[in-house]
Structure 1
Amino acid sequence: MDAETVNNAPTARELASDPLAQFAVLRRVHESTLSGSPSPLSPRPVISESWQRSLAAHIDPDDFRPPIVYQPDEVADVRDAHPLHAVLPTLRELLLSIADESRHVMIVTDAEGTILWREGPANLCSQADPVGLCEGTGWSEQAIGTNAMGTALAVDAPVQIYSAEHLVRTYHGWTCAAAPIHDPDTGDLLGAIDVSGLLDTLHPATVSLVNATAQLAESHLRRRMEWLDGQLLTKNMPHLARLRGEPGALLTPTGRVIAADRLGRWPRRVAVDVERVLLDDGREAEVEPLAEGYLLRVRSSSAARRPTLRLSFLGDNPTAVINGRKLPLTLRRAEILALLALHPTGLTAEQLAFQLYGDDGNPTTVRAEIHRLRGQLGGEAMRAKPYQLCAEVDADFLNVRRALHAGDVAGAVAACPAPLLNRSDAPAIRAEREQLVAAVRTAVLGHADPEVLWTFAQSETGRDDVAVFECLTSRLPAGDPRRAVATARLEWLLGED
């Protein structure tokens, strides 16, 4: 049902210039329809259908109590987590000034019709409070009957409700217009925006303004989604690259395909709550979770037998996962895995001993440790003579290296939240850790984008770096609030010296 069909209201519109006459007619229609007596006019189809749904939900036209879904102290947290929080400035800019001037309130709900924001003139808000038109209350049709917010969500189209078209009599003194807002990623309803006022204040064209504002909000959300897609691509392209020609695709956290190879046809969206999916062209693909999003891969029969080893070694708590199974991991075994990942052609026991212990290294000790490690991994994941990982390795520190080699500084920073194996004193690990940090730092300081510099400054590697914060204070625009944060942090670091 489109907006014109839903709002095709000859009775209400013809009398819009005389709200009191309009109210008198609509009240007679309301009373006659609900009592079953002959009516001078029929309600609009959108109203008649909404009344039927509301009455089927056992809404009492004489009971005006909308349910309290969130207590006042809960609303702020719900707002902060809601996707429409990002477009609130846009909604305010377009609607709130008009609401103030014409004695209306602007309302934003979630997809269930719960009011999350209500803003407008104080005197009108004080009249809205006693009838439950306030934050935290539920305004779906199932909760309070026909109203612009709930009905717009029910029919998924913009709606204007005039005075006595509300099912509940308490709201016959109000007129409101609302339009739904959709998630540009999934197409799902996110909520509705509404402008409400007393029956003699709302212009019939208000619904068009509200609908245009909803469309602008969706456009803003779409641009934000595209920006987030770009960030996700920057961070996760190394995962796609490591497939080395094997068919695969990158997915968003909702399963939308944002990058893929050219082999075969890829769907727009993939279910991510399963481990395997069947593609439209008959290929079977595996869904592998990443730190953000998913990797979809179509394996050959030989690749399917090759285990996957995922190493997360940047920071204090290294983890290793083999084919989805987390391994018990000591620091020494993490060091061995890191060194073997850094040397894909393999290392002898003597080479490993030197890299782990220096000149005092004992190959016999290393062989015993690797024997236990191979027992955990399985023989198909590691071979001997030399010791070599034959699993497909996905290591966070290697992803940082690849991003740097590709000139992707933003990707390297995003993939490097902390140094490699912080607690390790092994000579080779310490050297690799220092070189990786130095390489990322040099790339960041030479990069023109202050966003990359800011991201690096929030990491464990960059948060205590004076040079980084000196660059931030000079590169961030004067009006950017992060500049004040960077200046304060720089002053604190200099004071610590």
Structure 2
Amino acid sequence: MPEGPPRAVPDLDSYSVRLRRLHESGPAGVRPAGEAPRSLISASWRRSLEAGIDPEAPSAPLAVEQQDIREVRSAHPMSALLPLITGTLLETAEASAHVLIVADADGRVLWRGGDRRVMGRADEVGLADGFHWGEDAIGTNGMGTALAIRRPVHIFSAEHLVRVLHVWSCSAAPIVDPDSGEVLGCIDISGTTRALHPATVALVGTTARLVESHLALRMRERDDLFRARQDSHLRTLRGEPGALVTATGRVVAGDRAQGWGYRVRLPESGERVLLPDGRAAFLDPLGEGFLLRLGDRPRVPVLSLSFLGTEHPSARLDGVRVPLSPRHADILALLALNPHGMTTDQLSFHLYGDEGNSVTVRAEIHRLRARLGPTVAAKPYRLTCVVEADFLDLKRLLATEDAGAIVRAYGGPLLPRSEAPAVRREREELEGQVRARLLLRGAPEDLWAYAGAEHTRNDIQILERLVATLPADDHRAVAARIRLDDLGMSRPVTGDRVRPRHVPTGDR
């Protein structure tokens, strides 16, 4: 609940006299009976004096130089909330000769606005951008005390520990991030003692709750997106207990009956956590959060890639399909082919050639990690999971002499629509090696299987080899001769003559 002057003292003049007597005897000195301030102020004075605050300090200290305040403000989460705060309170502050202040969690003033005359007086005590108003910097005051006790307060006149602030009164309310549970900062309205009504604390408190409601709405939107992107990881557990946890430790999906609670305490280092009931659990990073699962050992994910002979390449992480853009397929192909990793410049060149740039690569990697999480590591870029890929299987088979296994593994060109220079080179090399193995060691059934695909049905060298090695009345030899006739290659074929080219039928 907001704190204001005691109801038992409706006369602010008499209350001010009592406070002045306390200051004259010293905030920590001997107090006459019945002269103690309200408990909130007593506690704040005690904290302030223990922090070494001098009641005769001339003003709040400067914490951020004026040339830096804009950068500090723009980098703070409260920056995005300023339009909401000022749209709610600034007009009221200006009309009532007050100043409106927004400070960060440490009490540093990020922004100030309001009545110009009052702001001129505020400059004298450091009630301005960049100055530090935490209790440990300037003692009891609206902003510092609200941040210290995490609830709205009204600090009246001589309730301030520092004497130079006795002409001021202020009402402040903290803003708590519903995601992390941490204080982001506070809102303050300050004015001269006679100008500021104690009810102002209700106004700033209501505005703070409005801001927190806005933050909660944005948090729920992020949660929905997180669940949509990462829910597949829960399914990979195949019924084993698990939950999705945000980067701030909130549990947003999973079996509530397991007793995860609303929030888990994330470890400062490592990925092992201890649940409230004493069970051990493990956090698998997902880029924007974690997969929480029972157990105390890390699980190595498996990434499966099907990139041969398809215009719609697919990827599966632990059996769950992951949608891929063509560029992300290119990146995964290159990282799979370079297991030791690639620098930003190397990846850029292999993807785009001389026209590439590192900014584009970093943006693509960021989007890819949103889908695959930490399986894509950085510095250098590399895959940290087990990789199963049809084109890697094919490369291993090419080191053998098993033409039958090679033709069965060759589903077609690697990412046939890719224009990435390195992918094109790899595609051409794989195709050339497959054809060379078949022409050298392939049995008729292997040659026929290769010629049965749409992208290889008009390969002249393969067709000529079929005609040369099969009986003339074999249906495969007949089909091969018909295709050669259609291609204008109807002259007799002798022996093992091999032509240096083949005629493709599709766009490669």
Amino acid at match of 1:288: D
**How far did 1:317 drift?**
5.8
Alpha-carbon displacement from aligned partner over 1:383-423 (angstroms, at most 9, x marks no partner): x9x99xxxxxxxxxxxxxxxxxxxxxxxxxxxxxxx89784
Alpha-carbon displacement from aligned partner over 1:268-299 (angstroms, at most 9, x marks no partner): 22343332223345543221112211112235
Whether the 8 Å contact between 2:97 and 2:114 is mirrored in structure 1 is yes
Count of aligned pairs between the two proteins:
357
Amino acid at match of 1:267: G
Whether the 8 Å contact between 2:301 and 2:385 is mirrored in structure 1 is no
Alpha-carbon displacement from aligned partner over 1:362-395 (angstroms, at most 9, x marks no partner): 812899xxxxxxxxxxxxxxxx9x99xxxxxxxx
Alpha-carbon displacement from aligned partner over 1:51-106 (angstroms, at most 9, x marks no partner): 22212222111113322222123222322232222332222122211101101111
Aligned twin of 1:240: 234
**How far did 1:250 drift?**
1.3
TM-score normalised over the length of structure 1: 0.62
Task: Write the distance in 1 (CA, Å) between the matches of 2:153 and 2:383.
Answer: 65
Secondary structure of 1:106's aligned partner: strand
Task: Write the distance in 2 (CA, Å) between the matches of 1:80 and 1:429.
Answer: 51
Aligned twin of 1:93: 87
Q: 1:198 to 1:428 in 2, by over 3 A?
A: farther
Aligned twin of 2:294: 298
Aligned pair 1:141/2:135, yes or no? yes
Whether the 8 Å contact between 1:29 and 1:39 is mirrored in structure 2 is no
Amino acid at match of 1:277: V
1:12-411 counterparts in 2 under 5 A? 14-16=10-12, 23-34=16-27, 36=30, 38=32, 41-261=35-255, 264-273=258-267, 274-280=270-276, 283-298=279-294, 307-309=300-302, 314=328, 327-329=339-341, 341=388, 352=394, 363-364=398-399
Task: Write the distance in 2 (CA, Å) between the matches of 1:363 and 1:257.
Answer: 48
Q: 1:430 to 1:220 in 2, by over 3 A?
A: farther
Aligned pair 1:7/2:4, yes or no? yes
Alpha-carbon displacement from aligned partner over 1:151-190 (angstroms, at most 9, x marks no partner): 1122222211111111111111111111122111232222
Aligned twin of 1:436: none
Task: Write the distance in 2 (CA, Å) between the matches of 1:218 and 1:328.
Answer: 46
1:465-476 counterparts in 2 under 5 A? none
Whether the 8 Å contact between 1:309 and 1:321 is mirrored in structure 2 is no
Task: Write the distance in 1 (CA, Å) between the matches of 2:383 and 2:63.
Answer: 54
Secondary structure of 1:267's aligned partner: coil
Q: 1:59 to 1:430 in 2, by over 3 A?
A: farther
Amino acid at match of 1:238: S
Amino acid at match of 2:286: L
Task: Write the distance in 1 (CA, Å) between the matches of 2:150 and 2:392.
Answer: 66
Task: Write the distance in 2 (CA, Å) between the matches of 1:336 and 1:225.
Answer: 30
Amino acid at match of 2:328: L
Amino acid at match of 1:328: H
Task: Write the distance in 1 (CA, Å) between the matches of 2:15 and 2:383.
Answer: 81
Whether the 8 Å contact between 2:303 and 2:388 is mirrored in structure 1 is no
Q: 1:134 to 1:40 in 2, by over 3 A?
A: same
Aligned twin of 1:424: 423
Alpha-carbon displacement from aligned partner over 1:309-332 (angstroms, at most 9, x marks no partner): 46899277659999xxx9514799
Task: Write the distance in 1 (CA, Å) between the matches of 2:234 and 2:100.
Answer: 45
Q: 1:348 to 1:189 in 2, by over 3 A?
A: closer
Alpha-carbon displacement from aligned partner over 1:237-265 (angstroms, at most 9, x marks no partner): 23333333333221111121111147733
Q: 1:129 to 1:423 in 2, by over 3 A?
A: farther
Q: 1:306 to 1:233 in 2, by over 3 A?
A: closer
Alpha-carbon displacement from aligned partner over 1:102-135 (angstroms, at most 9, x marks no partner): 0111111111111112111222212111211111
Q: 1:136 to 1:366 in 2, by over 3 A?
A: farther
Whether the 8 Å contact between 2:99 and 2:112 is mirrored in structure 1 is yes
Whether the 8 Å contact between 1:32 and 1:39 is mirrored in structure 2 is no
Amino acid at match of 1:94: T
Amino acid at match of 1:7: G
Alpha-carbon displacement from aligned partner over 1:194-233 (angstroms, at most 9, x marks no partner): 1000111101211111111112211111111111111222
Amino acid at match of 1:27: R
Whether the 8 Å contact between 1:65 and 1:131 is mirrored in structure 2 is yes
Q: 1:163 to 1:262 in 2, by over 3 A?
A: closer
Q: 1:243 to 1:202 in 2, by over 3 A?
A: same
Secondary structure of 2:189's aligned partner: strand
Whether the 8 Å contact between 1:240 and 1:250 is mirrored in structure 2 is yes
Q: 1:133 to 1:310 in 2, by over 3 A?
A: farther
Whether the 8 Å contact between 1:264 and 1:281 is mirrored in structure 2 is no
Task: Write the distance in 2 (CA, Å) between the matches of 1:182 and 1:319.
Answer: 44
Whether the 8 Å contact between 1:288 and 1:295 is mirrored in structure 2 is yes
Gaps of 5+ in 2: 305-314, 316-326, 351-380, 410-417, 432-508
Superposed CA RMSD in Å reads 4.2
Range with greater deviation from structure 2 (20-29 or 217-226): 20-29
Give the structure with the larger helix fraction.
1
Aligned twin of 1:495: none
Whether the 8 Å contact between 2:334 and 2:423 is mirrored in structure 1 is no
Q: 1:62 to 1:348 in 2, by over 3 A?
A: closer
Secondary structure of 1:424's aligned partner: helix
Task: Write the distance in 2 (CA, Å) between the matches of 1:321 and 1:279.
Answer: 36
Q: 1:47 to 1:430 in 2, by over 3 A?
A: farther
Secondary structure of 2:263's aligned partner: coil
Secondary structure of 1:68's aligned partner: coil
Whether the 8 Å contact between 1:148 and 1:161 is mirrored in structure 2 is yes
**How far did 1:38 drift?**
3.6
